[in-house]
Amino acid sequence: MNKRVISLGEIMMRLSTPGYERFISADSYNVVFGGAEANVAISLANWGVSAAHVTAFPNHDIGKSAVQYLRFAGLDTSHVYFDEGRMGLYFVENGAMQRSSKIIYDRFDSVFANFDPSKVDWKKIFEGADWFHWTGITPAISASAAKLCQDAVKAAKAQGVKISGDINYRRNLWQYGKQPLDIMPDLIAQTDLIIAGLTDFENCMDIHEEDYVTACKKAQEKCPSIKYVSTTYRESISASHNKLCGVLWNGEELLESKTYDMTHIVDRVGGGDAYMAGLIYGLLGSGDQEALEFAVAASVLKHSIPGDANFVSVDEVSQLVKGENIGKLLR
Amino acid sequence: MNKRVISLGEIMMRLSTPGYERFISADSYNVVFGGAEANVAISLANWGVSAAHVTAFPNHDIGKSAVQYLRFAGLDTSHVYFDEGRMGLYFVENGAMQRSSKIIYDRFDSVFANFDPSKVDWKKIFEGADWFHWTGITPAISASAAKLCQDAVKAAKAQGVKISGDINYRRNLWQYGKQPLDIMPDLIAQTDLIIAGLTDFENCMDIHEEDYVTACKKAQEKCPSIKYVSTTYRESISASHNKLCGVLWNGEELLESKTYDMTHIVDRVGGGDAYMAGLIYGLLGSGDQEALEFAVAASVLKHSIPGDANFVSVDEVSQLVKGENIGKLLR
Amino acid sequence: MNKRVISLGEIMMRLSTPGYERFISADSYNVVFGGAEANVAISLANWGVSAAHVTAFPNHDIGKSAVQYLRFAGLDTSHVYFDEGRMGLYFVENGAMQRSSKIIYDRFDSVFANFDPSKVDWKKIFEGADWFHWTGITPAISASAAKLCQDAVKAAKAQGVKISGDINYRRNLWQYGKQPLDIMPDLIAQTDLIIAGLTDFENCMDIHEEDYVTACKKAQEKCPSIKYVSTTYRESISASHNKLCGVLWNGEELLESKTYDMTHIVDRVGGGDAYMAGLIYGLLGSGDQEALEFAVAASVLKHSIPGDANFVSVDEVSQLVKGENIGKLLR
Amino acid sequence: MNKRVISLGEIMMRLSTPGYERFISADSYNVVFGGAEANVAISLANWGVSAAHVTAFPNHDIGKSAVQYLRFAGLDTSHVYFDEGRMGLYFVENGAMQRSSKIIYDRFDSVFANFDPSKVDWKKIFEGADWFHWTGITPAISASAAKLCQDAVKAAKAQGVKISGDINYRRNLWQYGKQPLDIMPDLIAQTDLIIAGLTDFENCMDIHEEDYVTACKKAQEKCPSIKYVSTTYRESISASHNKLCGVLWNGEELLESKTYDMTHIVDRVGGGDAYMAGLIYGLLGSGDQEALEFAVAASVLKHSIPGDANFVSVDEVSQLVKGENIGKLLR
Amino acid sequence: MNKRVISLGEIMMRLSTPGYERFISADSYNVVFGGAEANVAISLANWGVSAAHVTAFPNHDIGKSAVQYLRFAGLDTSHVYFDEGRMGLYFVENGAMQRSSKIIYDRFDSVFANFDPSKVDWKKIFEGADWFHWTGITPAISASAAKLCQDAVKAAKAQGVKISGDINYRRNLWQYGKQPLDIMPDLIAQTDLIIAGLTDFENCMDIHEEDYVTACKKAQEKCPSIKYVSTTYRESISASHNKLCGVLWNGEELLESKTYDMTHIVDRVGGGDAYMAGLIYGLLGSGDQEALEFAVAASVLKHSIPGDANFVSVDEVSQLVKGENIGKLLR
Amino acid sequence: MNKRVISLGEIMMRLSTPGYERFISADSYNVVFGGAEANVAISLANWGVSAAHVTAFPNHDIGKSAVQYLRFAGLDTSHVYFDEGRMGLYFVENGAMQRSSKIIYDRFDSVFANFDPSKVDWKKIFEGADWFHWTGITPAISASAAKLCQDAVKAAKAQGVKISGDINYRRNLWQYGKQPLDIMPDLIAQTDLIIAGLTDFENCMDIHEEDYVTACKKAQEKCPSIKYVSTTYRESISASHNKLCGVLWNGEELLESKTYDMTHIVDRVGGGDAYMAGLIYGLLGSGDQEALEFAVAASVLKHSIPGDANFVSVDEVSQLVKGENIGKLLR
């Protein structure tokens, strides 16, 4: 697809215990790199979209490894910055059956959190871009990260680039003195497509509703630039078995996707990012319902793949949407 | 929990084929150490109980590794003995689908089996202890191991320590000349809580009943010190999918637990020991029904963890009992 | 079982990504060797049948490794040939949930494909043999491989050896100038037991029917030597969950097997070969329905084992047929 | 370094036995991708040079993995082509002590070997390029690969791009009808820097001399465009212990490098390519002796790294040249 | 040995690339826990000394894993504290041949660095203790860590506990406002045995000498409590091959140890800590020269073992001192 | 080579810690099967000799795995017996540098040790055999194993089969009541080629000499059937670096081999068995000095290969004897 997408966000080293080992008994960790926004960009790159990710890494060998990982995953890394400091990390323990999966974050005081926003020439970055993606994680990390996100959104808007934001409210972040309502409403107000659940609406838009469509409408009233609001519904029967569907409010109606039964989950981290990527891909090229179905199917496939990144092809997603070649042995 | 538990029993090196490899094609084995009684103690130590395990190991580097494993798992190892000889072993092949799991034991003539019971000063060991746990495996191993168990039970009783016994009848053992009925009734007669199914009642107490409650009552008639009798019911739909519940007879009524659907079993070895530990923990601190529910939930979680030991927290078990945070992604 | 079976066919190195890794992110492959016909022979050898496989390997260290693998798996390798050239390969990516499994073949121009059929003394090979097994893959590989298969079938027939053929039509093969209908009918006409589905009938026998029994009857009309026709029906709920049953037409009626629910598939490659082996084993020693049930149960167990080869015992298959010891923990 | 280098050549999947396992006992292979020319380009990319590699891959998932590997390693992959066909492979068994390392190639009939040279627009590729690198492997593979190399060299020459060629005569290749002397002299005649030993001179330039300087002079007489000739001398005390030095003839004198004692070799594959890359890097930016020393030191470090690619920094090479920080623990 | 040793210091998670992989290509890390002071205590515990380590960990599952590791390694963990915060980490890349090993630290702002020194009841900790060990790393981490170390040293001195300090000056630390000379002299003045090289003397004691004995004498003049000064000399022929010896100044003369040729180094991290432990062990029980030889031999053996901890026995060290059983196959 | 060799002896499961991990920290073991006599037979099978090994295994899945391993390694397993009981085991920890390698045996009371010698029809086994090989381990295991060895030697002698015996005195064995001098002299008296060092002469032949040739002569005086006596000399500089040579006394003179420097030992277990196999191979086909050189070179190569078995070819050994292709990269 001949489009260009820019994403912004922190990338962390992900250290996962092998198989179903708990933290307590693991003596090795598998290593990949991931972040909510880069995961979206990697999906899109994988689907033929030109995708550049803006971030900052430590200027040591592990920072370089992270850049190599992004290149491996197909991203344009010409807007990656390096500085003194540490890399954010997170540790993952994969659940099974009734036992939950666990994430321990170790991301404070990272190079990205301390990155000076004035170093980024957003105008240049957005040249030729069609879409910009951010999440509510970035403004939650630090004052400078919030500024970085504000600069980016403002520049994208100014250059006519479409904007998506995954609100993704995380209570454990927001420790630098600001509250979500200090920052998020203004960012959301410039955004075309948001992913938000009722909790996100409450915490980041001060919208307290129990009905999703009502909440979407109120959001659009507050922020007329919002064209789409979406979220997924996940039923957790166990760590190994979830059901998943998505809804997309397009200003007129609430579209609903098929519901998928995910009976043998391999790795659910990144499932939401795969959905976001699917929505962007769909909305860049097809109708609303098609975009929604593509997004959910992409997310479902992510659950079958170890790691954060959704290494599936457009064909694989499309076939799942159409119910073709499901779980076959393809020769 | 400010309690002290003592357990007695052999610990074996467990050698498991990786993943779903069969013995025939495995060229490496994963190594942990386990034993029915120590598995119980490890659960309890993990839940904050002071737990010491009494056993004997070979005085070579692998025996030392076994002690280190016990310390790693939280046990007080000050009553571990060392002697010339071999370590008991068992080999595990993990089943899948309709294919059963398999255990090959190689435990005869071990240091524990040959251990001289007179070396143990039970009086000292039970100072400050609240509970003693044994299983029917120990008296089945050898004459000296039977004597060791008899000494322990007698000393515990004398010092007012509560006693639990998992009858756990194993036909393949009992090869040293004695039959279960020669030894077990006397041990059971001094025990407060027993885990026993109908087969155990038959073989170890000469009680031949088809109704569980009737069997429990007969057991109590024979051995008035018995306060609780319990067992689990497991439905094996496949090696990967079992259902599990437990019952607890408290002298008055037969309490039943919730039934859990375990749809993606990781490792079922040690599931019974996790249940036993849960019962002890529960009975040390709460009511009968709570103890039973705690025990079954603990056992369910064990099935999601590789190895013999049930590395779960009290919180994790309690949440499962309450139906909270089941199979979620906890950040 | 005091029988001797001869099989003919190419054996490839199988390179599989570990766990659920996709090709794109695997940095190691697990290695075994397999081929549709040898997989059948290995099952039979495993069940006590004397089984020799006829094939050709490169005369380098990897070719030697392949022979060692066959010996490891129990085959008589005295009719394995060596020559200059390459080994056929195939790469396997294991699917999960809705994501399909994938095979990438790299088998053209192999030593087997180029092997000179005149080097094989079939008369000697079939001395004392009771059964010969071939598949439709061999004549699809190359002109010389087709000739090899034709020689073998003719010699077996001449020496009164029973013959089975798994039609196994593969569109991607047949690239050497001949079409299936040029070669297959004559081979099938000399065969006693064929495995064929409706697509196989169409492409290899020019029988276009929608009803399986009608197709079987037409096949027998064309080729009176056919005594049995069989196939399996597989419902793919997902890559992790299939249902499987088999049917066997014995010239009089269509026998149907139990249907098995395979809910946690480990590796489905080789499932059809395990079925074929089960049929041969059953028909060599018991009645038709027993043979069919044995075949399906053998195939089900294969799905629980990594690799191509079905390392299960006759006891394990028989117990599954009888519904005994399903998914237990056998000590 | 603000330079742009273009390389051309086949890239193969490299499958290596783990540790010191022989082919015969390995049941997994480690996977990377490599090729003599791409290895050079990867070194240069790693050192800050803009490096694009021209090659062709199969258009399946493993071909895509290969491209991802190149991107991971820092190469510009915008001139990689895809086509139907197979990927070349090679298998590596790592020697130790007196036991030699072994490579088994399986590269015939690959997509690269069959690639249509007319698809490449060399003129565009060489825009802005400073250097082009080829090896004698490419013209040895197939007629079309030879044509591809001839086109590239001619275009580079025409556009004033400096050219290096690693003669690298391989007797096992050259199976498509042409002999080295049919093709190589013309390619060499357009090249500025060649790596050649006495055997290469004999087979590819028809120069039969025993003295290296005399051979270099004759080569320059035949091909006046040659400005530099270089080779390495390796003393193999064992597979684990080699000595290495290099010589560079610059038209005037034969410069000699330091000799390094490599006492604990990890992986010697790619050692020559690391040397070639070092020479190019050095000659692009510094004097002859400096270039030579840089090249040998780069090659030495390669021997300490698993895989084909020489992931070392300019600093690490420069420090080794200066004798600083050798084998330290850097914090 | 019937002695009790207390150590104080931060423990970090150590993440090492497998084999000789560089950071850039590792996709898993091996995990152990280590710290300069705990490494000393682990050696001593391993040799039969009662050893307790004082430190602080995050109160999450990885903090708990660290405690379990200490227990596994034989330490008394009753003085380990838990708090909110992060765990310090360090990443290790193992060098080979001329390529150096590399450590990347990520330890700032850890639970230990922020730990409130007033929480520790040193008086109680030192009851029954014979020795206290600290290093110059602790006062370099943070003001609170420096205070913790000062409190400990003062309390040990007050209770008549012998004190050792490994000066271990690290330029990259000391970032909280204080300089080594602000803190270290007072700590050293209360210490009986110090490990210090000339650089340590300069930076931490303001002693600028080129002769080691002169420096030792000056140190003792400044700090009369110093009874022993020691250091090791390491010649790095390559990352795989070092020579090692130690010297011990006992106030009267400079004792020198044998020099060992370490030709196939497995892991040199922790080599200095093994030496320190050997000195303490030796000085607790034998003469000065014996202690020195024991220390160097212990350090040599550490280089043959992966990880930070020196899991060797007193017998193994003693035999190396005596030149017995070196590199044999012991059955 | 068109010869047939029979060997007799116990085969154990070998469990080795990975890499340089000590027992204390290994959490997996690599698994192969080995035994002194079978190791000899495997070498010979690998070199084209028809080799059958006589042994007994437990009749469970691990016993079956052992047979499969022998078939994989090329042995004729038609004289392998199965019985109830356990498999002998041994644990290996690989040394490095000055740290010794360690073996912990766990072989008592195995199926082989308890095997009834009357079950073996030696007459039939020796039909067509050229050579029989035994070691001093078998008569040291148990009375029945001694009887088995006595029967075998007697039958071989009676049928004119050449006999070799590796005296291999092990103090830790011989625990069943007999002493070596009760059994060994008679076995040796029927043997043509023995491997024996001075300690073996003392313990098994009551020959107390300090000069090797004198001891050989005395041995031949006592046992005139002895035609050859041989031993190796190993200098252990470290676990990683040994020197090795061999001597062969042929009744006339003491031949000496080249001495090899083995500087990077991978695995020395089985080195002596590789030597024995080399001697047998050489003496079956060439002159004495050639046999000796072949034997030492074979043993040297074994040290470069993980596991007990010496998977090297005749060509590889011969090239090492001739000093060709040592430590090269063979393409």
DSSP letter at F167 equals -
Of D190, D5, D8, give the one whose Cα is nearest residue D117: D8
- Comparing CA positions, the residue from C175, C189, C182 lying closest to residue C226 is C189
CB distance from A42 to chain C under 8 Å?
no
Could you tell me which chains touch chain D, where touching means 3 or more CB pairs under 8 A?
Answer: A, C, E, F
pLDDT tens, position by position, E43-75: 999 999 999 999 999 999 999 999 999 999 999
Tell me, yes or no, if F266 comes closer than 8 A to chain E by beta carbon: no
Of C262, C305, C331, the CB nearest to B22: C305
D216, D249 Cβ separation under 8 angstroms? yes
Residue A327 lies in a domain: no
- Chain D residues in contact with C27 (beta carbon < 8 A): 30-32
Average pLDDT over residues C309-321: 98
The DSSP code for D303 is T
Chain B residue numbers with beta carbons less than 8 Å from the beta carbon of F24 are 61, 64-65, 68
The answer to whether residue A305 neighbours chain C at the CB level (below 8 Å) is: yes
Task: Check CB contact under 8 Å for C304 and B99.
Answer: yes
Q: Burial of B179 by CB count in 10 Å (0-12 exposed, 13-18 middle, 19+ buried)?
A: exposed
The end-to-end CA distance of chain A, in Å, is: 27
Provide the pLDDT for residue C189.
97
Decide if E62 and A23 are in contact by the 8 Å CB cutoff.
Answer: yes
Q: Considering the domain boundaries, does residue D33 fall inside one?
A: yes
- CA distance, residue F113 to nearest chain B CA (Å): 14
Residue E286 has pLDDT above 90, yes or no: no
Distance from CA of E73 to the nearest CA of B (A): 7
Cross-chain residue pair B20–C327, CB shorter than 8 Å: no
- CATH code, E297: 3.40.1190.20
Minimal Cβ distance to A103: which of B19, B265, B331: B331
Residue D286 pLDDT:
87
In a domain, A82, yes or no: yes
Q: CB atoms < 10 A from the CB of A190, how many? A: 19
For residues A41 and A48, the answer to whether their CB atoms sit within 8 Å is no
- Residue B107, Ramachandran bin (φ over 0: left; ψ between -120 and 50: alpha; else beta): alpha
Mean predicted confidence (pLDDT) in D243-260: 98
Residue D238: left if φ>0, alpha if ψ -120 to 50, beta else—which one?
beta
Please tell me the predicted confidence (pLDDT) of residue F184: 98
Does residue B331 fall inside a structural domain? no
Q: How far is C302 from chain B (nearest CA, A)?
A: 9
Residue numbers in F near B68 (CB within 8 A): 24
For F174-224, how does the pLDDT look when each residue is reduced to its tens digit (9 = 90+)?
999 999 999 999 999 999 999 999 999 999 999 999 999 999 999 999 999
Pinpoint the alpha helices (H) of chain B. 36-46, 61-72, 122-125, 138-141, 143-158, 180-188, 198-205, 212-222, 271-285, 288-302, 314-322
How many whole angstroms from its chain centre is CA C77?
18
Helices B212-222 and B198-205: crossing angle, nearest 10°? 30
Question: Which site among B97, B173, B235, B244 would you substitute to test the C interface, given the most C Cβ atoms closer than 10 Å to its Cβ?
Answer: B97
Nearest CA distance, F106 vs chain B (angstrom): 6
Q: Is the Cβ of D114 closer than 8 Å to some Cβ of chain C?
A: no
C136 in any annotated domain: yes
> What are the chain C neighbours of A305 within 8 Å (beta carbons)?
20, 22, 99
The total of other beta-carbon atoms located within 10 Å of residue A254's CB is 14
D4 pairs with which residues across the strands?
D50
Work out the minimum CA distance from D173 to partner chain F, whole angstroms.
11
Task: Give the nearest chain D residue to E22 (CA atoms).
Answer: D305
What is the per-residue pLDDT for A137? 98
Tell me the pLDDT band of E90, cut-offs 50, 70 and 90: very high
Name the 3-class secondary structure at C327.
coil
Q: Is A73 on the interface with D (CB under 8 A)?
A: yes
Tell if the CB–CB gap between B328 and A100 is shorter than 8 Å: yes
Identify the domain containing residue E145 by its residue range.
4-322
Residue C1 confidence (pLDDT)? 78
Question: What is the pTM (predicted TM-score) of this model?
Answer: 0.97
The number of folded domains in chain E is 1
Two tokens, residue A300: 């479902």
**Which pLDDT score is estimated for E254?**
98
pLDDT band of A286, cuts 50, 70, 90: confident
Query: Is F301 in Cβ contact with D99 (below 8 Å)?
Result: yes
Reported ipTM: the value is 0.95
Query: Is D15 part of the contact surface with chain C (CB cutoff 8 Å)?
Result: yes
Instruction: Tell me whether residue D249 is in a domain.
Output: yes
Establish if D327 belongs to a structural domain: no
Query: How confident is the model over A87-142, as pLDDT tens digits?
Result: 999 999 999 999 999 999 999 999 999 999 999 999 999 999 999 999 999 999 99
Residue among E22, E28, E109 minimizing CB distance to A29:
E28
Is A331 a member of any domain?
no
Question: C-alpha C45: how far from its chain's center?
Answer: 14
In terms of CA atoms, which chain C residue is nearest residue A31?
C25
Q: Are D171 and D188 in contact (CB under 8 A)?
A: no
Instruction: Tell me the three state secondary structure of residue A289.
Output: helix
Query: C268 in contact with B at a CB cutoff of 8 Å?
Result: no
Residues F123-179 have pLDDT tens digits of 999 999 999 999 999 999 999 999 999 999 999 999 999 999 999 999 999 999 999
Which chain B residues are closer than 8 Å to A237 by Cβ?
A: 327
F181 — contact with chain E (CB < 8 Å)?
A: no
pLDDT at A60: 97
Question: Does the beta-carbon distance from A68 to D73 stay under 8 Å?
Answer: yes
> For chain E, what percent of residues have pLDDT higher than 90?
99
B264 within 8 A of A97, measured Cβ to Cβ: yes
Residues of A with Cβ-Cβ distance to B312 under 8 angstroms: 99
pLDDT number for residue F145 = 98
CB-based contact, E32 to chain A, within 8 Å: yes
Residues 229-258 of F with CB under 8 A from E: 236-242
Taking an 8 Å cut-off on Cβ atoms, the answer to whether F98 and E260 are in contact is yes
What residues have CB less than 8 Å from F259, skipping those under 6 apart?
A: F243, F244, F245
Determine the distance in angstroms separating the CA of C217 from the nearest CA of chain B, rounded to an integer.
Answer: 35
For chain B (length 331 residues), average pLDDT per consecutive 10? 95 98 96 98 98 98 97 97 97 97 97 98 98 98 98 98 97 95 97 98 97 98 97 97 98 98 98 98 95 98 98 98 96 90
Residues of C in contact with D29 (CB under 8 A): 15, 28-29, 31
Tens of pLDDT along A185-217? 999 999 999 999 999 999 999 999 999 999 999
